Amino acid sequence: MLRLFTLCLAVVLTLAVPASARDKLTVYTYDSFTSDWGPGPKIKTAFEAECGCELEWVAVADAVATLNRIKLEGANSKADVLLGIDTSLTAEAAATGLFEQHNIDTVNISLPVTWADRIFVPYDFGHFAVIYDSEKIKTPPASLDALVNGDPEQKIVIQDPRTSSPGLGLLLWIKAVYGDKAPDTWSKLSKRVLTVTPGWSEAYGMFTKGEAPMVLSYTTSPAYHMVAEKTDRYRAAAFSEGHYMQIEVAGILKSSPNKPLARKFLAFMTGPGFQNHIPTNNWMWPAGKTTGTLPDAFGKLVKPEKSLLLASDEVNANRKAWIDEWLKATTR
């Protein structure tokens, strides 16, 4: 009788446990993605309605920091999915052996470049840019060279390439344009740098508070101000050398106990339930299928005539050396 009672009690307790407690997906990403104004809250609601599960965001300062955390945690990580690294880090991430093939249909993916990665799935893309305050700068730099050699009194806030994907993007942008002359370029540019922040949020916050007239961000950033604040005060400077491209991706951890749910999330990521929230919440171009049209502001953005993008394998092989170059050049 006691055994029967124990069995019945176990069944009752199992039925009483909410589905979300039995079936939870944990996704590591960067902090701006999960903020109140970011896409995270709306995506969480949409995915939970479809999966009948719980989606838990774990926010880290920036994309590079999320990968660093995954590497530190290794096979003991609580993450099922890492979302937010870009192509500058995919080779490094794959080399850890912590990620597995996604095995999902990527028919919805649409990018300016061909996508064939079997581990990572893209969800948005954009180009890095210098955003300037048009009330403080009447003649913005028209090239990377003009930024590097311009008035040192007109300061810019940038991000640390060791912890931030935009910071790493600028590092690669300068390397792509200047090659072996990158160290000398950094030495010159450092005279215009007000400060180097750990992540994008801190840098952009300083810019909008008026602490510097320029900040490293994206060509799409002005769309936020046009749509949400009804102002075109903040603009992207178009550079004649071209702009460095960023493609953001997500991948599944081999240690995840919820791989079927993780794959369901990545498939969901390529469709409208996720993609509709990218343009006006993450303020990037969607990489998957959307419904509806983009706001008019997206038609007013800088369209780079040339997209720069180094191969992920090349970045992985040289990132440490290039960061050492940056450190040495900017701390002289």
Q: Residue 195: its pLDDT value, please?
A: 98
pLDDT, one tens digit per residue, over 38-49 is 999 999 999 999
Q: Mean of the pLDDT values across residues 305-322? A: 96
The one-character DSSP state at 238 is: P
Q: Residue 323: its pLDDT value, please?
A: 97
Question: CB neighbours of 291 closer than 8 A, spacing ≥ 6?
Answer: 272, 276
CA distance 8 to 5: 5
Tokens of 328: 């040495």
Mean pLDDT (the chain, rounded) = 93
Q: Residue 2: its pLDDT value, please?
A: 34
Give the up-direction half-sphere exposure of residue 15: CA atoms within 13 A in the CB hemisphere. 6
User: Could you give the 3-state DSSP secondary structure of residue 28?
Assistant: strand
Judged against a pLDDT cut of 90, whether residue 183 lies above it is answered with yes
Q: Mean of the pLDDT values across residues 229-242? A: 98
Give the other-Cβ count within 10 Å of 103's Cβ: 11
Give the other-Cβ count within 10 Å of 238's Cβ: 19
Rounded to the nearest 5°, which phi and psi values hold at 330?
-95, 0
Judged against a pLDDT cut of 60, whether residue 8 lies above it is answered with no
Helix 312-330 and helix 182-189, axial crossing angle in degrees, nearest 10 = 50
Q: Residue 3's pLDDT band (boundaries 50, 70, 90)?
A: very low
- Of 24, 28, 107, 106, which Cα lies nearest the Cα of 72? 28
Q: Mean of the pLDDT values across residues 259-279? A: 98
The one-character DSSP state at 278 is: I
User: Which residue is it, tokens 């999960």?
Assistant: 34
Judged against a pLDDT cut of 90, whether residue 17 lies above it is answered with no
Judged against a pLDDT cut of 50, whether residue 10 lies above it is answered with no
Judged against a pLDDT cut of 60, whether residue 18 lies above it is answered with no
Helix, strand counts (H, E) of the chain = 14, 12
User: Could you give the 3-state DSSP secondary structure of residue 313?
Assistant: helix
Judged against a pLDDT cut of 80, whether residue 332 lies above it is answered with no
Q: Residue 325: its pLDDT value, please?
A: 97
Q: Mean of the pLDDT values across residues 61-87? A: 95
